A and B are shown apart, each in its own frame.
Chain A
Amino acid sequence: MFPCPVLFLYSRFIRNTMYLDLAEHLGLIFHLLLKKPDSSCVFVVRKDQDIYIQTLRKLFNESHGIFIGLQRSEEEFAGKSRKTQLVQVSKNYRSVIRACMEDMHQAAVSARDPALHSQYSTQVSILSAMELIWNLCEILFVEAAVAGPLLLRLLDWVRLHVCDVDNMVREVLSSENPSKHELFWNLGNTQTLTEMELKWQHWHEECQRYLQDGTFASNSHMESICKILLGDENAILEKKELMTTWYHFLVTRLLYSHPTVKPMELRFYAQSSMDLFLGGESSPEPLDTILMAAFEFELHQVIKECSIALSNWWFVAHLTDLLDHCKLLQSHNLYFGSNMREFLLLEYASGLFSHYSLWQLGVDYFDHCPEYGRVYLELHIERIPLNTEQKALKVLRICEQRQMHEQVRSICKIMAMKALRNNRLGSALSWSIRAKDAAFATLISDRFLKDYCEKGCFSDLDLIDNLGPSMLLSDRLTFLGKYREFHRLYGEKRFSEAAKLLLMLMTAHIAPCSFWMTLLTDALPLLEQKEVIFSAEQTYELMRCLEDLTAGKSDKQKFQDDDVETMKVEMLRLALARNLARVIVKEGTLEGS
């Protein structure tokens, strides 16, 4: 009946779905750090293992740069130049993915341990899938290729990812009628779509005639090529083993049957291509579902499926942000357009915060989340372990830049407390000053003074000497600063200045009453110099201070005063009296000098 053993979950869970109809995906990766049996109650579970992979560091860092660049890019360009800009951003993201893939591939190749090799290989293929998906999204959504260029782009896309030149195409090019095929490749801007369609139709009919006339009857190979060129699906399917995927099949098919395919027509061909290719034997895999959703221009579906299939938010966060900049999310019929962008960015950035250095990237992502970014940042930044002063200063700078005053105060307070506990008074004081924490500054000043009384010297002189205007933060701090100044003046033998300052500390009530005795005792050496330092008036003041001090004590206190106290008072009275005597004589005889 008692509670389960305490489980300490050091986990940053950022996995979830966004949609009403999205069921849960549980392929979560947990990195389990099992402890020794004697401390078997503490298990640390971490969710975002990806951020700890060294080879992915480049991905996170460089994509961060691209992201920031995109946010800051002015929307001064309208229309076509904006689109070009966005396409370039998309290409930049993809090149980062590819660079990462290269690194990962190298790592896989050079890995001796088979488990490690397989791990890296897995990552390579996942990155490859990501690039595949992103590339398709770039074509369909960012560039929004129109009929004509669309097929060209798709061809490039398939080629890039299959790395397997269409053998049939090669054969075609080397065939007897290259000129007939040349125009086929001139699917460029030089011709209008209608012109191109007409030419293609003409060519298509010619091919058909050749086939029917039996021109290729003698060569079954050429015949099947001709059939393929005519877009005969059966013929194309026969060559299935040359094509690795249904989308390769799709593009091939489109190439030979509908090269001027329009974007909105893709979905039909895609669906049937997948059906034909898979032949009802295997069910679509997540990658297939994602690509299909893209061909169907179901943006939200693409993002949703990617969120399920991928284990971290990097991909969907950056892609969605880009699509949002293309203004594609806002017009969707569901009402969470830009909210989704922010949701994904928040999730991604939150994940970064559990990393000892990548958290700095997370800050910038939060900055660009208008609704919840700031509060997320406030909550996360307070939890960053402040192991070193440098880290604390780094965190502080970030907070100060964003006018996060409460966090600044809190962090400084935490650091000040830590320093105080470790008896590093100087550090504690400087943190309090930074926090503008008057109460704490007073407390620490008191400690300094107490230490001085006990040890007879100051610690952290540098700090106190260079307080400057921050001295005014608290009265006690001001006193500390001035008192130290007194000691400095004395050390520099500037006795009359020192004397003046000392007196002022008491008469201006800068010094706390509790400290007056110490101050008066400090006056002793000045009183006993060969030279007369205190003027008559000053001496009277000092005497008055002393009397105030002793008068203030009740009879009981006087009774409790030990001999040392009484002796001190007596000594002071004597010294003051002697000084008075000397100064009267001095002032009496030397007029005005």
Chain B
Amino acid sequence: GDWHCTASWKTHSGSVWRVTWAHPEFGQVLASCSFDRTAAVWEEIVGESNDKLRGQSHWVKRTTLVDSRTSVTDVKFAPKHIGLMLATCSADGVVRIYEAPDVMNLSQWSLQHEISCKLSCSCISWNPSSSRAHSPMIAVGSDDNSPNILAKVQIYEYSENTRKYAKAEALMTVTDPVHDIAFAPNLGRSFHILAVATKDVRIFTLKPLRKELTSSGGLTKFEIHIAAQFDNHNSQVWRVSWNITGTVLASSGDDGCVRLWKANYMDNWKCTGILKGNGSPVNGSSQQGIFNASLGSANTSLQNSLNGSSAGRYFFPPLDSPRAGSRWSSHAQLLPPPPLIEHSCDADTANLQYPHPRRRCVSRPLNLLPENEGV
């Protein structure tokens, strides 16, 4: 299906930084945030049947949130199990959480929490986990540029005791400006995965430790690990986004590329694809053909192409196949291998009923990925 624009309207008096959808359970609802210090909530109104035929839809503003005194840099709806809530963050470092107590009345939003992060905020992400073991949690990223080594990612957690959000963690290793942040969907894991877009792509795991009964009201302490760090973009990484199952991460950067990252089930992350801005793959091969044409082309050097990446190298141990570990090796009888005979042969020209798989493609010269070239 084709994509076409069904609605377009000017409303904010400054750049619109972000838009986000609410869960369809609440209807067709959007929120936007802008440099003009406001955030707004929009609802799609089912218009006249004429409009439907013309493929047009109408959006009305339900509310404007004007509490911020500086540019509102991100707006995100909370996971639906929390209710109809949204969070905004501003350039002056304030995170605000609003709630609409009546889900059918989108004009009524009340400010429930105001969190002061002390650093200019650029992005927020709600933890989507609906597990009862996890309290509502929000990660905040800062793009503060002043020279300091303050942690640019903070995690706030809701405490039942104090009925407030309080800072649970700060990722001390992230000291460069953060442009985007995203919790991965939770597959029933006990720990959380957080992706950070900063000068590189970073993936953190946060394992909740036993809740300590501190005076701040039973906040969770976390064991933080960095699961992956990729500098392949070789430039600022602007956005990170997870797939449905939280198994693939997409990142985009100033190199004009989108990169896809995936972990095998040994939890080793690696790049599974590079796309240019228009969606075409970077190495340019295999554009046509449905099944991969690789069976006919020599791929061994293609396999090594990513090893050029400096950060990725850590994750790619040498390619020695573990023959010694084979369970058959201990049973092998000591038959002497037949003597090697050097023999020059002509190319085979047998004609087959079905084209032989081996004979189908000529191996192409492979374009090594410009991993370490600047963009």
Contacts and interface: CB of A to CB of B under 8 A. Distances in A.
B35 to A, nearest CB: 11
Given A26-B283, A53-B290, A264 B332 contact: yes
A26 B369 contact: yes
B187 A372 contact: yes
A410 B25 contact: yes
Contacts of B286: 27-29
Contacts of A244: 348, 350, 352, 356
Contacts of B343: 234, 237, 240, 276, 279
Contact of A423 (B46, B258, B355): B46
Interface size class of B (residues with CB under 8 A): 35 or more
Contacts of B25: 410, 413-414, 417
A563 interface: no
A275 B340 contact: yes
Contacts of A308: 294, 299, 303
Contacts of A30: 275, 279-281, 287
A346 B280 CA distance: 26
Interface residues of A, number: 114
Nearest to A420: B27
A5 interface: yes
B344 to A, nearest CB: 6
Interface stretch (A119-127, A518-526, A583-591): A119-127
Interface in A276-291: 276-277, 279-281, 283, 285-288
A387 to B, nearest CB: 11
A298 B331 contact: no
Contact of A285 (B349, B353, B358): B358
A452 interface: no
A13 B243 contact: yes
B333 A105 contact: no
A408 interface: no
Contacts of B260: 13
A29 B285 CA distance: 8
B354 interface: yes
Contacts of A19: 264, 266
A49 B288 CA distance: 11
A296 B323 CA distance: 9
A475 B303 CA distance: 66
Contact of B319 (A21, A297, A336, A339): A21
Contact of A115 (B280, B288, B360): B288
B357 A128 contact: yes
B317 interface: yes
Interface string A358-381: 000000000000001001100110
Given A244-B350, A421-B28, A443 B279 contact: no
Interface string B225-267: 0000000000000110101110010101110101010111110
Contacts of A11: 243
Contact of B273 (A18, A26, A333): A26
A128 B338 contact: no
B299 A27 contact: yes
Contact of A43 (B239, B278, B304, B337): B278
A524 B27 CA distance: 41
Contacts of A272: 337-338, 340
Contacts of A15: 262, 272-273
A26 B356 contact: no
A271 B332 CA distance: 14
Given A233-B338, A268-B337, A422-B46, A21 B272 contact: no
A510 to B, nearest CB: 23
B179 to A, nearest CB: 7
B62 to A, nearest CB: 13
A240 B286 CA distance: 32
B326 A297 contact: yes
B47 to A, nearest CB: 11
A45 B248 CA distance: 15
A125 B279 contact: no
Interface in A435-486: 443
A164 B27 contact: no
Interface stretch (A34-42, A208-216, A497-505): A34-42
Given A414-B24, A417-B24, A264 B321 contact: no
Contacts of B130: 406
Interface of A: 3-5, 7, 9, 11-13, 15-30, 32, 34-35, 39, 42-45, 49-50, 53, 101, 105, 115, 119, 121-129, 132, 161-164, 233-234, 237, 240-245, 262, 264-265, 267-269, 271-272, 275-277, 279-281, 283, 285-288, 296-298, 301, 308-312, 331-333, 336, 339-340, 343, 350, 372, 375-376, 379-380, 383, 406, 410, 413-414, 417-418, 421-423, 443
Given A23-B316, A285-B358, 13 more contacts: A4-B238, A7-B279, A19-B264, A25-B299, A27-B299, A28-B272, A30-B275, A45-B279, A121-B355, A283-B300, A285-B295, A286-B295, A339-B265
Across the A-B interface, the 4 shortest Cβ-Cβ residue pairs: A311-B292, A129-B357, A43-B279, A244-B350
Interface of B: 2-5, 24-28, 44, 46, 80, 104, 130, 179, 185, 187-188, 238-239, 241, 243-245, 248, 250, 252-254, 256, 258, 260, 262-266, 268, 270-275, 277-281, 283, 285-300, 302-307, 316-323, 325-328, 331-333, 335, 337-338, 340-346, 348-350, 352-358, 360-361, 363, 369
26 contacts: A3-B239, A23-B307, A27-B293, A29-B292, A30-B280, A43-B279, A101-B354, A122-B290, A122-B291, A122-B361, A125-B295, A125-B354, A129-B295, A129-B358, A237-B345, A240-B348, A264-B331, A276-B341, A277-B345, A279-B345, A288-B358, A296-B326, A308-B299, A332-B327, A410-B80, A418-B27
